[in-house]
Structure 1
Amino acid sequence: MRNSAAAVWQTVHTERRHLAADLSDLDETQWAVPSLCPGWTVHDVLAHLVDTAQTGRVSFVRDLLAARMDFDHANEIGIARTRRDDPRDTLAAFMDTAHLTRTPPANLATRLVEAIVHGEDIRRPLGLRGSYPNRAVLQALAYQLRTRVSYGGDRERAAGLRLIDRGTGTSWGLGDDVEGDPLDLLVAVSGRPVGPERLAGSGAHRLIGAA
């Protein structure tokens, strides 16, 4: 699996452009649709993506200090800073950031998690279908499964579960089985709701309930 920095950024840049294209024709009502992120609309998530694309190591620390080390509050500040009155202007700003390679002081795999999971946060409520490189989804899933929630991962949500890629049989972890497509597994372990018809196995209800 190619997981070099260059390969990660190529995927992130491509996914940013794909998302921008998917959102180019939204109407006012669609921009206000609640995303899979509790309390955030589709427009809010896009503004968050603009903010994080512009955030480097120094500015991340600065913003976190300004938010008194409250990560969620720092995100809200970032959204307020980048969210335009007209969603089309926020979309234009997002397109302008598509090429950037800035990142907080974190594993580069977090950029894949952000591009894919936030892409689904936006697309799924709108009835849009995302298509992501399988290697990138698997890399993002592996990162989430080995990283604690306090560090932005989802290891605790998958504790006691054996996640299985229904297409290849590849598995992660030990415990009750949860079988699904890698993208649905990634979305679920990232704390987002996934329809029960998308996951199977004796542990599926536990993972769905943890979202």
Structure 2
Amino acid sequence: MTGPATDPATTAEHHRGSGVWASVHCERAALAADLAELTDEEWATPSLCTELTVREVLAHLTAGASLTTVTWLAGVVRCRFDFDRQVAMRLAEQLGATADETLERFRRVVSSTTKPPLPAIAMLGETIVHGEDVRRPLGIRRDHPAGVVTAVAEYYRGSDLVVVARKRVAGLRLAADDGPFAAGSGPLVSGPTLSLVMAMTGRAAHCDDLEGEGVEILRGRCGPA
């Protein structure tokens, strides 16, 4: 006896979603491992995410992996639609009393698929971008899978949903020198895919890794992350 017919498009979307979540979980696990031996001074290091320390960025990631659509909406209402206030409130909820507790809370959500009303690829982007927000100031390097950072680059170049990225790169030609990512037209900005992702999301420090006549235009569009 056969089961009900399955829409091929639905099946394909399911597998794409499953693959994205596997990448999210892998990136979270790698970040937890990279931060496992930090000193108190390193936890207090300013990140590339404006006004947040390394420890606070990790708590922010934990919060994002702990919010459902319902709890996110409840927080928005509670904060009277002040989204920055909601972010700060949720970060404080997950910070914990010590850095060890902050890290332990993050470890608990490594395999979570809980999310606010965002696509899974946005969660992957958040994990990679905020991971680099803390790694770069700490001098930690991660070689992200090429396919993963390419997928994130493709997402951000067409989206302003979580962070302004599409508008930031408007009128520029982006070209990765370590993978297939290429988009847009205009003055050239080229370099590593990860650096393009970080610059697209407003991290001016990563413009130092890029080349082309469009780099200074992009740098000028990078503001508070």
TM-score, with structure 2 as normaliser: 0.88
Instruction: Deviation per CA, 1:108-162: give whole Å up to 9, x if none.
Output: 21011111000001100100002222111111111111112x6534111101100
CA RMSD of aligned residues (A): 1.6
CA contact (8 A) 1:184 1:194 kept: no
Contact 2:165/2:200 (8 A) holds in 1: yes
- Return 34-43 or 105-114, whichever deviates more: 105-114
**For residue 36 of structure 2, what is the aligned residue in structure 1?**
24
Tell me if the contact between 2:62 and 2:106 (Cα under 8 Å) persists in the aligned partners.
yes
Which residue identity does 1:48 align to in structure 2?
Answer: H
Residue 71 of structure 1 corresponds to 83
Instruction: List gaps (5 residues or longer) in structure 2.
Output: 1-12
Aligned to 2:187: 176
1:207 match: 218
The residue that corresponds to 1:58 in the other structure is 70
Q: How far apart, in 2, do the equivalents of 1:131 and 1:60 lie?
A: 32
Q: Verify the 8 A CA contact 2:179 2:193 in the aligned structure 1.
A: no
Matches of 1:96 and 1:196, distance apart in 2: 34
Structure 1 residue runs of 5 or longer lacking an equivalent are none
Q: Are the aligned partners of 2:178 and 2:192 in contact in 1 as well (CA < 8 Å)?
A: yes
Identity of matched residues, %: 36
Aligned counterpart, 1:162: 173
Number of matched pairs: 209
Counterparts of 1:1-211 in structure 2, within 5 Å, are: 4-148=16-160, 151-168=162-179, 170-211=181-222
Name the SS for the 1:164 alignment partner: strand
Tell me, what secondary structure is at the counterpart of 2:126? Answer: helix
Q: Considering only CA atoms, is the larger Rg found in Structure 1 or Structure 2? A: 2
Q: What TM-score does the superposition give when structure 1 sets the normalisation length?
A: 0.94
Post-superposition shift, 1:169? 5.9
Equivalent residue of 1:4, what SS?
helix
Range with greater deviation from structure 2 (183-192 or 169-178): 169-178
Verify the 8 A CA contact 1:162 1:172 in the aligned structure 2. Answer: yes
1: CA distance, partners of 2:169 / 2:208: 19
